[in-house]
Structure 1
Amino acid sequence: MRLAIPGPTSKGPTEKFTGDVYLNALQSGEDPSRLNSAMVRFSPAARTHWHSHPLGQTLHCTDGMGLVATRDGNVILMRAGDAVYTPPGEEHWHGATQESLMCHLALVEHDNGHTATWLEPVSEHDYQAAHTATHA
Structure 2
Amino acid sequence: MRRILALAVFLLLFIGQACKTKVEKSENTESSSSEQAIFPKGEAGNAANFTGNAYNYGLVANDSIYNTLVGNVYFEKSARSNWHLHPSGQILIVLDGLGYHQLEGQPRETMKKGDVIKVPANTRHWHGATENNSLTQMYILPKTENGFVTWLEPVTDEQYTSNN
Normalising by structure 2, we get a TM-score of 0.72
Identity of aligned residues (%): 29
Question: 2:145 is matched with which residue?
Answer: 112
Letter of the 1:39 partner, please give it.
N
Task: For residue 42 of structure 1, report the CA deviation from its aligned partner.
Answer: 0.3
Unaligned residue ranges in structure 2 (runs of 5+): 1-38
1:58 pairs with one of 91, 104, 109: 91
Question: 2:158 is matched with which residue?
Answer: 125
> Which structure is higher in strand share?
1
Letter of the 1:37 partner, please give it.
V
Mean Cα deviation higher: 59-68 or 103-112 = 103-112
Structure 1 CA distance, aligned partners of 2:99 and 2:116?
A: 11
- For the aligned residues, what is the CA RMSD? 1.7
Question: 1:95 is matched with which residue?
Answer: 128
Structure 1 CA distance, aligned partners of 2:124 and 2:66?
A: 24
Tell me, what secondary structure is at the counterpart of 2:155?
Answer: coil
> Which structure is higher in helix share?
2
Question: 1:3 is matched with which residue?
Answer: none
Offset from partner CA, 1:83-115 (integer Å, 9 cap, x none): 101000110000000010100001102443621
Alignment check: 8 A CA contact 1:18 1:49 kept: yes
Question: 1:29 is matched with which residue?
Answer: 62
How many residue pairs are counted as aligned between the two chains?
126
Structure 2 CA distance, aligned partners of 1:93 and 1:13?
A: 15
Tell me, what secondary structure is at the counterpart of 2:162?
Answer: helix
